[in-house]
Structure 1
Amino acid sequence: MVETEIAEKRQFKMLIDGEIACLWAITFNDEQIWEERDNTKSIYIHRIATHPKFRGNNYIAKIVAWAKVYARSVEKQFIRLDTLGDNTKLIEHYQNAGFEFLGMFDLKNTDLLPDHYQDQPVCLFQIDLSK
């Protein structure tokens, strides 16, 4: 999966003084998680991971700034992401980064999703660049 993302230029990294501080991947559809809300007007951010040495520096703000430029360059209206469970601190963190919290949803079919998507509601977020 990661090799495919790299080959398709959908995996990104943030370097600080030559070290990888943060990485993330994007996709242009996410039907499995977004179900009927999935659309072709979006980029979907997945698997944001920050190196422990760099945690606590609010890199989501930098990722959002990058995503706004990137989404516009590929003519997309929405920047979307998801997380799992009722993690109020993470929900607030994404809201503070400019995402609208769309709510918590039970997924209809999680068969093709990783184990951590089983038996938990998904929290959906988006930024609408037309606003």
Structure 2
Amino acid sequence: MKIHNSTSEDIPEIFRLYALATEYQKTIFPENTWPTFERTLVENEIQQHRQFKMVVDGQIACIWAITFHDPQIWEARDKDPSIYIHRITTNPEFRGRQFVSEIVNWAKHYAKSHQKKFIRMDTCGNNEKLIQHYKKCGFNFLGMVQLQCADELPSHYQDADVCLFEIKLNSA
């Protein structure tokens, strides 16, 4: 298993995995599924080296994106030096391999090397199974919030309850 930045050549596979994830979401938590994301969103993340892929046996097994600021979701806490993980998507051929735990390990090193004190993540809706999964992967569940302003966020955030998760890193 290796982690790399995604490239523009990965875009078709990224969108294929997003589509498969959305279909899967419809079967397990239909109240809140991902919209179709804008291609420019992914292109910008790739250009800014914020879109990542986990490769196993030459195949993209998992993808995710990060950002260093997320003010509409994290509001005042956005001032904390953090990385924010978004859109973790696992290739169905690789489900069940605990990739979120692998991403957490990667994120701890990545965050420390960029002088960040928190790893943060969110998910829409009260999906208890997903909340428990993220807690098992080391995140503290901070609770659910109703976003005050989501006009710059993808459509699935509009009028959604959002679960907040974080890992506070040791300063060492």
Corresponding residue for residue 83 of structure 1 = 123
In the TM superposition, structure 1's runs of 4+ consecutive aligned residues that sit over 3 Å from their partners are: none
Matches within 5 A, 1:39-50: 39-50=79-90
If the length of structure 2 is used for normalisation, what is the TM-score?
A: 0.74
Corresponding residue for residue 52 of structure 1 = 92
If the length of structure 1 is used for normalisation, what is the TM-score?
A: 0.96
Corresponding residue for residue 122 of structure 1 = 162
Relative to its length, the structure with more helix (as a share) is 2
Identity value in percent: 60
SS of equivalent residue, structure 2 residue 151: coil
Please say which structure displays the higher CA radius of gyration: 2
Corresponding residue for residue 110 of structure 1 = 150
SS of equivalent residue, structure 1 residue 68: helix
SS of equivalent residue, structure 1 residue 62: helix
Paired residues of 1:102 and 1:126 also in contact (CA < 8 A): yes
CA RMSD, aligned part only? Answer: 1.1
- How many residues in Structure 1 have an aligned counterpart in Structure 2? 131
Matches within 5 A, 1:15-94: 15-94=55-134
Q: Deviations over 1:85-131 (max 9, x none)?
A: 11000000000000000000000112222111122210000000028
Relative to its length, the structure with more strand (as a share) is 1
Gaps of 5+ in 1: none
Gaps of 5+ in 2: 1-40
Q: Deviations over 1:53-90 (max 9, x none)?
A: 11111100000000001001111110000001110000
Deviation at 1:39, TM superposition (A): 2.1
